[in-house]
Amino acid sequence: MTVPAFRAPKGTFDLVPPRGEAMLAVRDTLAAPLRSAGYGYVETPSFEETTLFARGVGESTDIVTKEMYSFTTRGGDDVTLRPEGTAPVLRAVLENGLHRGALPVKLWYSGSYYRYERPQKGRYRHFSQVGAEILGTEDPASDAELIVLAVDAYRALGLTGVRVLLNSLGSHESRPAYRAALQEYLRGLDLDEETARRVEINPLRVLDDKRPEIQKALASAPIITDFLSPSDRAHHDTVRSLLTSAGVDFEDDPRLVRGLDYYTRTLFEFVHDGLGSQSAVGGGGRYDGLSELIGGPALPGVGWALGADRTLLAMEAEGLPLPGVTGVQVFAVPLGDEAAAWAFGLVTQLRRAGVAADFATGGRGLKGAMKAADRSGAKYAVVVGARDLAEGVAQVKDLATGEQQAISLNGLVTHLQRLV
C-alpha cells in the first residue's frame, strides 16, 4: 500500500462519504428550527483582526492565551483564524449597520472554527458549528427561545440523551460582590502560580478549570446565584419559567461557566453523557456588554453554537442511524456505445425530473455494470442494449427482488418517477 505524501494536519480530519453527507444533514437539521423562526443567514470571513477576539473573548481565557491560530499577513496585519462565531457576527452587524434597523436582529450561521488544542475524541483543532444570535433585546424570552430551538433541533435528530444545564452569571449589578467573595475564597487555597494569577485577573475562569484537584477545592466556593440582584433574579426566573412552559427539562447548575469572558446573566450548556469527558455538544448565553468591548454602541445579545461534529458523535453513542442523502435511486446499465449515449440522456432527464440517478461508464460489461448498480444503493436498474433501443424499450429491474420488465422508452421517465 502506497503511503500518501501528505496527510491532514494533526488535530484535523477529512469528511468523506458517507460521513460527509451525514455531517451536512446534521448541520441542516440543526439550522432548520432557526430558519423556520425567521432568522437570517450571515457568513463572516474565516479570519479576523486578532484584537477582535482579544477584546471580545477575553485576554485571560485559554482561547486567547493558548488556543488561537494567529499570524501576521504579508501586509503586516495581525489576524486570527476564528475560534468562535459570536464576536465576528457582532462585528459584521455593527459594520453593516444592521443594528440601526428594526430590532431585534436574529441571525444564524454555519462554518468551520479553529483552536489549537490537544487532539482527542470530540475535541479537534478544526471543527464545525451552527450558531445563532439575537441582538438588540434584553428580553429573557429571547434566551428561552434560543434554548427551545436548540432542544427542538436535537429532538429532530432523534437524540434523547441531551441534557440542558442552566445558570445565571448576573450582570454588572451582581458581579462585583460575587467576584470579591470568590476571590477571597480562592486566595485561601493552595493554587499553582498560573491559577493564582488567574484569580486576580478573572476568578470565574478558575471555576472552568477541569482538573480534579481544582474541582475538589471548589466544592465550598460561593455560588453566583446567591449574589443575584433582584432584576437579575427576575430575569433568570423568567427564563426558567418559559422553558418549563415550553416543555423543556433543564438542570440548574450554579457552578456552570464557559470559556469566554463576555457572558452575562443567562448561561447554558447542552451535554451528552455518551461522549465521556468532552460531553458538551453545544452551549451559549447572554453577552450584553460585548458590543461596547469591541467599540460599538450598547447592543444586548444572546446566542449559542452547536457543535456538528460532537452532535454526530452523540448520535453514534445512542446508536441512531446517521442521516444523509437518499442516494441513487435509479442506475442505468448501457450495453454498447449507442446505449451509452442514450443512457447519458436518460440520466440527465431523470435528474432534471427530481430522480437521483447514475449510470455505468467506461464500457463495462453487464456483470461489472450490475455490480456498480448494487454498490450505488439504487432501487432500480435500467438495462438497455442495441436490440432494446431498436425495439423502443428498456429493461427495468428491481434490484431487491430481481423482477424485471420491459418498459417503453417514451414513458420510461414517468414510469420511474412513479416507482421511486
Per the annotation, binding residues for L-histidine are 84-86, 115, 129, 133, 258, 262-263
- Residue pair 310/152 in contact (Cβ under 8 Å)? The answer is no
Task: State the burial class of residue 376 (Cβ atoms within 10 Å of its Cβ: 0-12, 13-18, 19+).
Answer: buried
Which residues lie closer than 8 Å to 31 by C-beta, 6 or more apart? 108, 110, 130, 153
- Residue pair 309/127 in contact (Cβ under 8 Å)? The answer is yes
Per the listing, cell 456505445 goes with 337
Q: What is the Cα–Cα distance from 52 to 48, expressed in whole angstroms?
A: 7
Q: What is the Cα–Cα distance from 389 to 74, expressed in whole angstroms?
A: 62
Nearest to 350 by CA among 293, 417, 301, 287: 417
Strands 357-359 and 330-335: parallel
**Which grid coordinates belong to 208?**
472552568
Q: What is the Cα–Cα distance from 195 to 218, expressed in whole angstroms?
A: 13
- Residue pair 335/367 in contact (Cβ under 8 Å)? The answer is no
- Strand arrangement of the beta sheet that strand 78-81 belongs to: 47-49, 78-81, 70-72
> Binding site: residue ranges?
84-86, 115, 129, 133, 258, 262-263
- Strand arrangement of the beta sheet that strand 301-307 belongs to: 40-41, 105-114, 126-135, 301-307, 280-286, 264-272, 162-168, 251-252
CB contact burial 33-69 (16+ within 10 A = b; e otherwise): bbeeeebeebebeebbebebbbbbbbebbbbbeebbe
CB contact burial 276-299 (16+ within 10 A = b; e otherwise): eebbbbbbbbbbbbbbebbeeeeb
